[in-house]
Amino acid sequence: MMRRVILAESDYVLEYCPYDSKVEYVLEDRTRVDCLTDAHAVEFDWCHKWAQAVGQALYYARSTGRMPVVVLICKPGEERFARRARVAAPDIEVMVIPK
């Protein structure tokens, strides 16, 4: 019997964050940007937490002077959450990766 591997959010960050970026970059107020590149502040989160991810990405972008990006980790059938994020924040890039 095969066991299903359950990954943590941090596993996705390590897998998808570019090699030349900063992972878990700590801001002055001790909040953490999941992935900070030269151009982007990237927030990874589970699909159902799309609203929180949008808020965090906006905050991190303002705090770092980078463009906000949200990466949602979604199971099949959760595409509605990505649509909600795109409607709520049309100026933020929203990407979806499979869970």
Predicted confidence band at 69 (pLDDT cuts at 50, 70, 90)?
A: very high
pTM exceeding 0.75: yes
Residue 15 included in any domain: yes
In a domain, 2, yes or no: no
Q: Are 46 and 9 in contact (CB under 8 A)?
A: yes
Q: Does a structural domain hold residue 1? A: no
Is 54 part of a structural domain of the chain?
A: yes
Domain-located, residue 4: no
Domain that holds residue 37: 9-98
pLDDT for the residue numbered 1: 57
In Å, how far are 5, 13, 99 from 70, measured between CA atoms?
24, 12, 15
- Give me the number of domains the chain comprises: 1
- Mean pLDDT for 69-80 is 96
**In sequence order, what are the residues at sequence separation of 6 or more whose Cβ sits closer than 8 angstroms to the Cβ of residue 36?**
21, 22, 25, 42, 60, 64, 66
- Residue 64 domain-assigned? yes
In a domain, 29, yes or no: yes
2-44 residue pLDDT tens:
565 668 888 889 888 888 999 999 999 999 999 999 999 999 9
Let me know if residue 3 belongs to a domain: no
